[in-house]
């Protein structure tokens, strides 16, 4: 279930949020969408889920046109929003039953799907408790369980680990990995937590100032991280240190022996966060 976005534009009252945005997400990908506050991540995800209208541009979801196949697209997609999307006074089970019935699930099919969603998110002990009594981590898990009810082929998760402790975060990340691996669900994951995205995603894009400023496979990004550039007077030597620093120390010794003068050494980005801050610059966003 691939996603192909072309020249997507969106403004809110003259404030340009998405400017001719182009993006491709492959089927089965665990795709990390990063960006500073206000970059437009939620707007993009909301447009793809018919929650916000676009101004112009096209999007194909599994080869279906966003402008023409709303119902079919809705039937294969699901969004787990940043905010809690359930009724606090209902129990977890009642919430799942209610939202499952909105998807047209009935009787045995509904029961089976609810059981699956409860199992994946380990909510067994809490299904008869009212949702407002849940901890932050449990609320997030219930949000995800609801998002899985329609067996989505594409699942959008908008900052699903905000405000929860490291244990719950780790648990939720593993749940998401499992869904991607077992059900081959394409996952679009927005987050501010770089280490989460580094752990979870196989491809990463950064949205900043209304454009995609980087899209790369994670392995390529990590490979770039391991490259040290030694700048001489008239050449740049790249040393890959992914297997350790032996190559680097050998190269330095060789250059010394050859009496080559080193002008500068660029150690690259320390990690994804370092790269993110470098690319999006460090100024504070509103
Ligand atoms: N309904 C709206 N009306 C007017 N402006 C909006 C609306 N929704 C979002 N915006 C503005 O659009 C810009 C992008 O917001 P959006 O929520 O899409 O960004 P984001 O990348 O998801 O941010 P965050 O990481 O803080 O959640 C922001 O400047 C925001 O203030």
The tokens 């990063």 sit on which residue?
34
- Give yes or no for residue 42 CB within 6 A of ligand 1: yes
- Asked whether the beta carbons of 71 and 55 are under 8 A apart, the reply is no
**H or E segment to which residue 217 belongs:** strand 211-217
Contacts of 56 (CB under 8 A, 6+ apart): 7, 8, 9
Contacts of 186 (CB under 8 A, 6+ apart): 1, 2, 3, 25, 26, 27, 28, 29, 31, 153, 154, 155, 180
If phi > 0 it is left, if psi is from -120 to 50 it is alpha, else beta; for residue 130 that is beta
Tell me, in angstroms, the distance from the centre of ligand 1 to residue 40's CA: 6
Averaged pLDDT score across all residues of the chain:
91
Report the DSSP pairing between strands 154-158 and 77-80.
Answer: parallel
For the beta carbon of residue 28, count every other beta carbon within 10 angstroms: 17
Closest Cα to atom 13, ligand 1: which residue? 38
- Give yes or no for residue 160 CB within 6 A of ligand 1: no
pLDDT at 89: 97
Tell me, in angstroms, the distance from the centre of ligand 1 to residue 37's CA: 8
Contacts of 273 (CB under 8 A, 6+ apart): 194, 195
Helices (H), 206-245: 218-225
The span from the CA of 152 to the CA of 36, in Å, is: 28
pLDDT at 244: 80
For Cα atoms 83, 183, 42, give the angle at the middle one, nearest 5 degrees: 25
Query: pTM of whole model > 0.90?
Result: no
pLDDT at 151: 94
The tens place of each residue's pLDDT in the chain, 286 residues long, gives 699 999 999 999 999 999 999 999 999 999 999 998 889 999 999 999 999 999 999 999 999 999 999 999 999 999 999 899 999 999 999 999 999 999 989 999 999 999 999 999 999 999 999 999 999 999 999 999 999 999 999 999 999 998 888 888 999 999 999 999 998 999 999 998 888 998 999 999 999 989 999 898 988 877 776 788 889 988 988 888 877 888 888 888 888 998 888 898 887 777 777 777 777 775 656 5
pLDDT at 97: 97
Contacts of 20 (CB under 8 A, 6+ apart): 7, 8, 9, 57, 211
Helices and strands, number each (H, E), in the chain: 10, 13
- Give yes or no for residue 81 CB within 6 A of ligand 1: no
**H or E segment to which residue 216 belongs:** strand 211-217
Tell me, in angstroms, the distance from the centre of ligand 1 to residue 160's CA: 17
Sign of the C-alpha dihedral computed for residues 150, 152, 158 and 159 taken in this order: positive
Closest ligand 1 atom to Cα of 207: 21
Contacts of 254 (CB under 8 A, 6+ apart): none
β-pair partners for 262: 232
Choice from 10, 12, 14, 209 to test ligand 1 binding pocket (greatest atom count within 8 A of CB):
12
Closest Cα to atom 3, ligand 1: which residue? 12
């Amino acid at each position: 279930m691939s996603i192909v976005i072309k020249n997507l534009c969106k403004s809110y009252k003259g404030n340009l949020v998405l400017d001719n945005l182009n993006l491709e997400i492959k089927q089965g990908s665990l795709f990390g969408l990063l960006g500073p506050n206000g970059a437009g991540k939620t707007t993009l995800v909301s447009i793809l889920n018919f929650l916000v209208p676009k101004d112009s541009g096209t999007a194909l979801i599994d080869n279906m046109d966003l402008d023409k196949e709303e119902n079919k697209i809705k039937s294969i997609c699901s969004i787990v929003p940043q905010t809690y999307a359930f009724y606090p006074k209902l129990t977890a089970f009642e919430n799942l039953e209610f939202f499952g019935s909105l998807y047209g699930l009935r009787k045995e099919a509904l029961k089976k799907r609810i059981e699956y969603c409860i199992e994946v998110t380990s909510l067994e002990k809490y299904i008869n408790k009212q949702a407002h009594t849940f901890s932050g981590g449990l609320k997030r898990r219930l949000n995800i369980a609801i998002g899985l009810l329609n067996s989505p082929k594409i699942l959008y998760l908008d900052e699903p680990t905000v405000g929860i402790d490291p244990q719950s975060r780790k648990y939720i990340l593993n749940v998401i990995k499992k869904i991607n691996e077992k059900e081959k669900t394409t996952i679009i994951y927005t987050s501010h937590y770089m280490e989460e995205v580094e752990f979870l995603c196989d491809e990463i894009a950064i949205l900043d100032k209304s454009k995609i400023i980087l899209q790369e496979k994670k392995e390529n990004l990590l490979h770039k991280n391991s490259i040290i550039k030694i700048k001489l007077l008239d050449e740049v030597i790249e040393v890959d240190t992914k297997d350790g620093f032996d190559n680097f120390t050998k190269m330095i010794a060789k250059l010394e022996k050859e009496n080559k003068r080193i002008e500068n050494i660029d150690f690259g980005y320390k990690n994804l966060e370092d790269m993110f801050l470098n690319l999006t610059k460090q100024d504070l966003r509103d």
